[in-house]
């Protein structure tokens, strides 16, 4: 059997580029046919998925189980065999609290402070990120002058390393930073933004939105461009107002993209670490200490590290993420089914 590659008439660059493709396909054709004969047509799916699953297993599942094993151990030793099995003691320590709303009443007060901070951060950052990404995508989807330039402008921060993002904003927001210089030049009172609990929290939310918004805007923009134009033309002919067109056409058809964005933003928000670590270091006090930094500090940065406690905290964070993702996917499917029934 010959490789079923469609041939196009004519010569030139395209034809020349196909030569190595044909060579490769010809080379793998015989071994693949041999594998197919051995496994059957049904087994080919497993065959093709196996390398991917192997990588996933080694780099995701295995570390997850190792991490779980760590969470069941105590002591300061790093290697699992050197550690003492303590069962669920680390989880019990994390949950040892008189009042969960008051971290000071908990044995691991810093953990609950980090949980509270992360919850507020997620709530604010996810909603604002989606709002801003959507608005930006809608604007960039219009016939703007220099549209490609504006798209590049919004996407540019995504290309920066989180450390660079943190440093840039630190230079802007610190006591003798650019922002205070501007305020001072205008005769206004400078402010210690990063020493103020509320402002530093707002800064972490704002900076993370600035740094990542471009990526989500791009996903939403792709979704917007896939919506057939004739739907809007028909709506316009029917005299539909733009707001109604947005709610009735744009939003429902954008929902799959929006769902992907929500899941990605949420996961990223819960895992926030690098730019915040550089920008505020978790301060002032612990007002911008988020869960990942707590895990990092407990497992790696403090004197006499506690990898077991850090592992338990990360397992709990993983469980929360899985639950949130499943809820969102469930809601998404429900919405799709509802749409299909209509």
Partner 1 sequence: MTKTRTMLAALAIGLMSSTAAVAGDVRIMWYSDGVEGEVLKDLLDRFMNENPGINVILDNVSYSVVREQLPVQLEAGNGPDIARVTNLKAQSQHWLDLRPLVADAAYWDENFGEQADWMRPDGSNQISGFMTQITIAGGFANKTLFDQAGVAIPGKDATWDDWAKAAKQVAESQQVPFPMALDRSGHRLSGPNLAYGGNYIGADGKPAPLDDGSKNFLTSFVGWVADGTMSKDVWVSAAGSTYRAAADDFINGQLVYYYSGSWQVPNFSTKIGTNFDWVATGSPCGPTNCTGMTGGAGLVAVKYTKNPKEVAKVMDYLASEAIVKEFSERTLFLPAHKGVLAKGLDFKTDDAQAKTALNAFVEASKSLSDLARKLPGWHWSDTFYGALVTRVSQAAAGEMTIDEAFTRIDSDIATKVKDSGN
> Contact positions toward partner 1, by CB under 8 A?
74-79, 84, 104, 109-110, 175-176, 192, 194-195, 197, 280-289, 293, 297, 300-306
Q: Write down the least CB distance from residue 278 to partner 1, Å.
A: 11
Closer of 56 and 181 to partner 1 (Cβ): 181
Nearest-angstrom CA–CA distance, 308 and 322: 21
Closer of 193 and 216 to partner 1 (Cβ): 193
Closer of 75 and 242 to partner 1 (Cβ): 75
Q: Which residues contact 215 (CB under 8 A, 6 or more apart)?
A: 155, 158
* Matching residue, tokens 């549209």: 147
N residues, the chain: 342
Nearest-angstrom CA–CA distance, 286 and 26: 61
Q: Write down the least CB distance from residue 115 to partner 1, Å.
A: 14
Nearest-angstrom CA–CA distance, 149 and 305: 48
Q: Write down the least CB distance from residue 106 to partner 1, Å.
A: 11
Q: Write down the least CB distance from residue 176 to partner 1, Å.
A: 8
Write the DSSP symbol of residue 85.
E
Give the ranges where 141-273 is alpha helix by DSSP (H).
Answer: 147-155, 162-173, 178-185, 197-226, 229-237, 242-245, 251-270
Q: Write down the least CB distance from residue 90 to partner 1, Å.
A: 10
Q: Write down the least CB distance from residue 35 to partner 1, Å.
A: 27
Closer of 217 and 280 to partner 1 (Cβ): 280
Closer of 79 and 149 to partner 1 (Cβ): 79
**Burial class of 2 by CB neighbour count within 10 A (0 to 12, 13 to 18, 19+):** exposed
Closest CA to 172 of 151, 199, 149, 197: 199
Nearest-angstrom CA–CA distance, 208 and 166: 9
């Amino acid at each position: 059997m010959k490789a079923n590659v469609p041939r196009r008439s004519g010569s030139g660059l395209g034809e020349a580029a196909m030569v190595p493709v044909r060579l490769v396909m010809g080379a793998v054709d015989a071994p693949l046919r041999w594998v197919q004969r051995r496994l059957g047509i049904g087994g080919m799916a497993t065959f093709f998925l196996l390398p991917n699953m192997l990588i996933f297993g080694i780099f995701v599942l295995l570390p997850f189980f190792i991490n779980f094993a760590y969470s069941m151990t105590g002591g300061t030793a790093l290697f699992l065999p050197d550690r003492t099995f303590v069962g669920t003691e680390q989880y019990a320590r994390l949950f040892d609290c008189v009042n969960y709303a008051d971290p000071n009443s908990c044995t691991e007060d810093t953990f609950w402070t980090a949980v509270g901070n992360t919850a507020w951060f997620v709530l604010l950052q996810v909603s604002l990120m989606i709002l801003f990404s959507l608005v930006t995508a809608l604007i960039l989807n219009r016939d703007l002058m220099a549209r490609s330039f504006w798209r590049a402008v919004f996407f540019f921060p995504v290309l920066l390393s989180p450390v660079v993002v943190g440093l840039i904003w630190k230079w802007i927001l610190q006591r003798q930073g650019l922002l205070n210089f501007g305020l001072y030049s205008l005769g206004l009172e400078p402010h210690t933004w990063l020493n103020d609990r509320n402002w530093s929290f707002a800064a972490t939310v704002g900076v993370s939105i600035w740094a990542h918004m471009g990526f989500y805007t791009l996903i939403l923009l792709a979704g917007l461009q896939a919506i057939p134009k004739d739907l809007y033309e028909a709506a316009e002919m029917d005299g539909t107002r733009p707001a109604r067109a947005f709610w009735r056409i744009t939003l429902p058809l954008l929902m799959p993209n929006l769902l992907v964005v929500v899941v990605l933003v949420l996961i990223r928000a819960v895992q926030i670490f690098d730019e915040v670590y550089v920008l505020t270091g978790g301060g002032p006090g612990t007002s911008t200490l988020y869960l990942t930094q707590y895990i990092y500090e407990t497992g790696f940065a403090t004197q006499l590290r506690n990898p077991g406690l850090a592992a338990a905290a990360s397992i709990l964070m993983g469980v929360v993420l899985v639950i949130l993702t499943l809820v969102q996917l469930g809601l998404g499917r429900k919405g799709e089914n509802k749409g299909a029934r209509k």
